[in-house]
Structure 1
Amino acid sequence: MVKVSIFGSTGTIGKNVAFTLAREDTVDEIVMVARPESLDKVKGETYDMYDALAARDIDCRLTPTCNFHDIEGSAIVLISAGIPREKGMKRLDLAVPNAKIVAYYSRQVAKYAPDAIILVATNPVDVMTTIALEASKFDKMKVFGVGNHLDSLRLKNYFSRHININSSEVHTRVVGEHGDHMVPLLSSTTIGGIPLKYFVEYVDLDITGLVERLKNAGNTIISKKGATEYGPAYAISNLISTIITDTHKVLTVSCYLDGEIENVEDVSLGVPAVISKRGLEMIVPIHMNDIEKRNFMKAAETVREATYEVKEHMNM
């Protein structure tokens, strides 16, 4: 029996992840944890989801609760609880209030589901990944964040739509911070097996414009509809399904680094990693050109500094 628990289940991301996962029919039980004052709301969400799942003959169990004991036996615990980002707000503006929430829930996971993998979605996700790791005291291979997985999917989609080519032909990746200091690895991007630097000779491709669009994607969506939901929910569900099915995919998630990439240490950043039911099987080495390397180091410096400030504020 596969059990997944979600902290932040009444939020836009949490409830969408729960529904997306349930529809995939790979999870036996989804525990939707809420604060006592939000329990009725999460119950209402489960009733609505059950009505939809009945049309697909899916029997996934949805458990609304405010009792931490109910997460016992979870294979994965998603932490998506926190203050949502609003229009014009940078992810790092959320750091201190959300760190308190993430640290608290991480300690509950350590107490009630010590064998679980913690997946962090709360922003700023790179900072929160380190907070969850240190608060839970888990092995670093069992705690990681959504990182640049969604950014990588967005970039893949941009290339696919702009060139009018099937997305399966686009192989690209974004690393670094999930934020202003993200680093698209354009030097290793291929389209139909052709390196991007050769492909751009044959199509009208504004690389600079695409990268700027990528960096502003979240704010653009928030400015138009108030929140991002489908993209993050499907990206997170994809990560969870990869863990459950033990498919050993290489996905770009936020990992705590101990020198594996460019000797960067003591910070969590988005890097490619092999994902399995045991968590992070390995962090995959990457090749970067000089510009990408400088930007990656800048991302490390920025996120590390923000993480130190948050930890100092919380006396961690």
Structure 2
Amino acid sequence: MKTNKISIVGAGFVGSTTAFALMNSNIASEIVIVDINHDKAVGEAMDLGQGQVFVSPVKIIAGDYPDTKDSDIVIITAGLAQKPGETRIDLVNRNIAIYKELVPNIVKYNPDAILLVVSNPVDILAHITYKLSGFPQERVIGSGTVLDTARFQAMLSDKFKVDARNVHANIIGEHGDSEIATWSLATIAGLTIEQYCRNMEIEFNEETRKEITHSVKTAAYEIINRKGYTNYAVALAITRIVESILRDEKSILTVSTYQTGDYGLEDVYISVPTIVGRRGVIHTVEVPYSSQEVDALKESADMLKDIIAQSDL
């Protein structure tokens, strides 16, 4: 019988909540939690393990890199947060130093795994992981704008009083301030937003569009200002990516992947619609977004490439 082993490197708020979400998803047969603070990892594994009677059978342990051996997926949530007054380049370089130790240890015991990078800045750290791992590009994925896309859909759902699952709209680009809301192809029940609003006699204008776009971009800041961190929705987004991989769903998700020509993008990790299945990235999908949206995507990519060029990679 095929088993699905998932390892999580980093037992902070995101890593531990991801372990909980995966435990409830019935997708994993074994979950290994690794953290530089081993006691924290042990505590999380103990707490989760004591709830096993309420879910499908799953083995949950705290370990070190050797215990991750032969994982199907290794989820990387470890990383340093930005300090007050610290530049983005400084933060990237501090994380590069950590990843230069972390990634080779993962690769040593998991030469055939798919690496799913979640830590921020996720596009930069996914690129760094790809370069350090030596893995083929399809097996190094960043969580990208999967959560941002979900936020966009949820906000449109709230605005137009319709099930979020019937809203089709993407956030592409950097997972960050330069991300792009692709209004040009956003639809509800196959109708453009404008068509749907006309049919339903709902007021919709450019100001509404700007307000929703701003709310999506600042959603994480709003949560962090109130509780200090985000963890639940991102853990569900990670679980969604993992499910698509392990079940070979071939779902189209806005994960961050290495670009080799689509949209005019080269040598950069950035989020665009991507088919995700058992071997990781199967193919990116070049969607006919508006020229303004594609131009903004290229600007976002150039910004990310500039950071990589200035880093200590």
- Normalised by the size of structure 1, how large is the TM-score? 0.92
Instruction: Return the alpha-carbon distance in structure 2 between the equivalents of residues 92 and 171 of structure 1.
Output: 35
User: For residue 221 of structure 2, what is the amino acid of its counterpart?
Assistant: N
Question: CA contact under 8 A between 2:141 and 2:256: conserved in structure 1?
Answer: yes
Tell me the equivalent position of 2:253: 251
Question: CA contact under 8 A between 1:256 and 1:268: conserved in structure 2?
Answer: yes
Instruction: Decide which of 106, 111, 115 is 1:109's aligned counterpart.
Output: 106
Unaligned runs of 5+ in 2: none
User: For residue 248 of structure 1, what is the amino acid of its counterpart?
Assistant: K
Q: Deviations over 1:181-202 (max 9, x none)?
A: 1011110000121112323443
Instruction: Return the alpha-carbon distance in structure 2 between the equivalents of residues 88 and 199 of structure 1.
Output: 45
Tell me the equivalent position of 1:75: 72
The structure-2 alpha-carbon separation of the partners of 1:76 and 1:90, relative to structure 1 and needing over 3 Å to count, comes to farther
What secondary structure does 2:254 align onto? strand
The structure-2 alpha-carbon separation of the partners of 1:6 and 1:45, relative to structure 1 and needing over 3 Å to count, comes to same
Instruction: Return the alpha-carbon distance in structure 1 between the equivalents of residues 25 and 9 of structure 2.
Output: 20
Q: Residue 99 of structure 1: CA displacement?
A: 2.5
Instruction: Return the alpha-carbon distance in structure 2 between the equivalents of residues 11 and 91 of structure 1.
Output: 21
- Normalised by the size of structure 2, how large is the TM-score? 0.93
What secondary structure does 1:187 align onto? helix
Q: Is 1:263 aligned with 2:250?
A: no
Q: Residue 272 of structure 1: CA displacement?
A: 1.0
User: For residue 293 of structure 1, what is the amino acid of its counterpart?
Assistant: V
Tell me the equivalent position of 2:292: 291
User: For residue 198 of structure 1, what is the amino acid of its counterpart?
Assistant: Q
User: For residue 69 of structure 1, what is the amino acid of its counterpart?
Assistant: P
Q: Is 1:47 aligned with 2:46?
A: yes
Q: Residue 88 of structure 1: CA displacement?
A: 9.7
Tell me the equivalent position of 2:283: 282
Give 1:112-131 correspondences, 5 Å limit.
Answer: 112-131=109-128
Give 1:145-294 correspondences, 5 Å limit.
Answer: 145-201=142-198, 202-205=201-204, 206-260=208-262, 262-294=263-295
Q: CA RMSD in A?
A: 1.8
Question: CA contact under 8 A between 1:3 and 1:28: conserved in structure 2?
Answer: yes
User: For residue 191 of structure 2, what is the amino acid of its counterpart?
Assistant: I
Instruction: Return the alpha-carbon distance in structure 2 between the equivalents of residues 118 and 177 of structure 1.
Output: 19
Unaligned runs of 5+ in 1: none
Q: Residue 90 of structure 1: CA displacement?
A: 8.5
Instruction: Return the alpha-carbon distance in structure 1 between the equivalents of residues 87 and 210 of structure 2.
Output: 21
What secondary structure does 1:250 align onto? strand
The structure-2 alpha-carbon separation of the partners of 1:143 and 1:19, relative to structure 1 and needing over 3 Å to count, comes to same
What secondary structure does 1:216 align onto? helix
Deviates more, 1:39-48 or 1:89-98: 89-98
Tell me the equivalent position of 1:134: 131
Q: Is 1:11 aligned with 2:15?
A: no
Question: CA contact under 8 A between 1:218 and 1:228: conserved in structure 2?
Answer: yes
Deviates more, 1:278-287 or 1:150-159: 278-287
Question: CA contact under 8 A between 2:138 and 2:281: conserved in structure 1?
Answer: yes
Q: Is 1:62 aligned with 2:60?
A: yes
Question: CA contact under 8 A between 2:24 and 2:55: conserved in structure 1?
Answer: no
Q: Deviations over 1:53-102 (max 9, x none)?
A: 32x14321111012x11111100001110123579988766322222223
The structure-2 alpha-carbon separation of the partners of 1:194 and 1:90, relative to structure 1 and needing over 3 Å to count, comes to farther
List structure 1 runs of 4+ shifted beyond 4 angstroms. Answer: 85-93
Instruction: Return the alpha-carbon distance in structure 1 between the equivalents of residues 279 and 90 of structure 2.
Output: 33
User: For residue 98 of structure 2, what is the amino acid of its counterpart?
Assistant: I
Q: Is 1:95 aligned with 2:92?
A: yes
